[in-house]
Amino acid sequence: MAGLLGRAQADSFLLSRDGEMVCEWHAPGVDRSDPHLVFSISKSITALVAGILEDRGILNVSTPVGDLVPETKGSAYADASVRDLLDMRISLDFDESYLSEQDYARYRRAMLWNPATGDGSEEKGLLALLGSLGKADGPHGGDHAYLSPNSDMLGIVLERATGTRFTDLCSDLLWQPLGASADALITVDNRGAPRTAGGISLCPHDLLALGQMLLDGGKAGGNQIISRRWIDDMRTNGDPGAWARGTQAEFLKTGRYRSNWYQLGGGSNAFLAAGIHGQFLYCDPDTNTVITCTASQHEPQNDALDQDMLALFANLAKPT
């Protein structure tokens, strides 16, 4: 295992079973309290906030995005539903190539992650970029197409549905009831729009606690944070056909995707959140096992290494 964590350029690795810590490892120079950017695990956290709002009757996931965010008029998002955002079934003309100098570089500049080019486009912010994206071929609700802008739009939708900034929503509805040990942080653009697709940094122990909360039916510290109904829907729904025909089918051969969470499928009840550069939260309800791994991999994506890590998680989560 040590050799694989080294290859994965892991920073922290935690494993708990039945809520008790079994393994805690940190790379040299990494303090256990250090916050770590978890990239697209942010999508899964944002979906939990959406689920809590849905439970409370504040958010209807069948609502068209354009009804909540009028600035999307004329864009791909105007007639998409919130459910389409959550399940990555948006017809969107966007190239999710992390090292591209085209779509993805423009996207990163809008969120202030890439240096400005001097043409002034970055000053318009994230929402302006999202509102400029057109539809791809085909309707919404088709095959799974993993595109990060969808989850940034989700964060804006949550703010518009509630009139509350995402940071306050996440703090009040999730982080404080969870009993998190430390503040989480989030990237915002120059207008304060939250980078809910990939900008959250947090303590790995709090990520572990979040996974345990989901295995405990949405409860933590005596608080019912999110409903068992929502968790069951996330775990058991998701269209396997849409996944198999989609853009991430090689990541999980028998997988599904629902509410910004992955399900392994193929006879496994495990589900997970994942982010580029080696971030994982793996939850196995059959053995009440939670695994977190944060990393600083040089490459955004390494398919072979991801498969090795998933195999490690599955092996460690087996019954003893």
Residue type, 119: D
What is the rounded distance in angstroms from the CA atom of residue 232 to the CA atom of residue 230?
5
| Residues contacting 278, CB < 8 A, separation 6+ | 8, 9, 10, 293, 294, 295, 296, 297, 305, 309
Which tokens in the block code for residue 87?
Answer: 């399940």
Whole-angstrom distance, CA of residue 162 vs CA of residue 179? 23
Amino acid sitting at position 253:
K
Respond yes or no: is residue 40 known to be catalytic: yes
DSSP 118-180: SSSGGGGHHHHHHTT----SS-TTSS----THHHHHHHHHHHHHHTS-HHHHHIIIIIHHHT-
Q: Which of 12, 16, 33, 40 is catalytic?
A: 40
Q: How many CB atoms lie within 10 A of CB 7?
A: 15
Give the whole-angstrom CA distance, residue 208 versus residue 16.
8
d(CA 10, CA 64): 40
Identity of the residue numbered 68? L
**Rounded distance between C-alpha atoms, residue 247 and residue 59, angstroms:** 28
Active site residues: 40
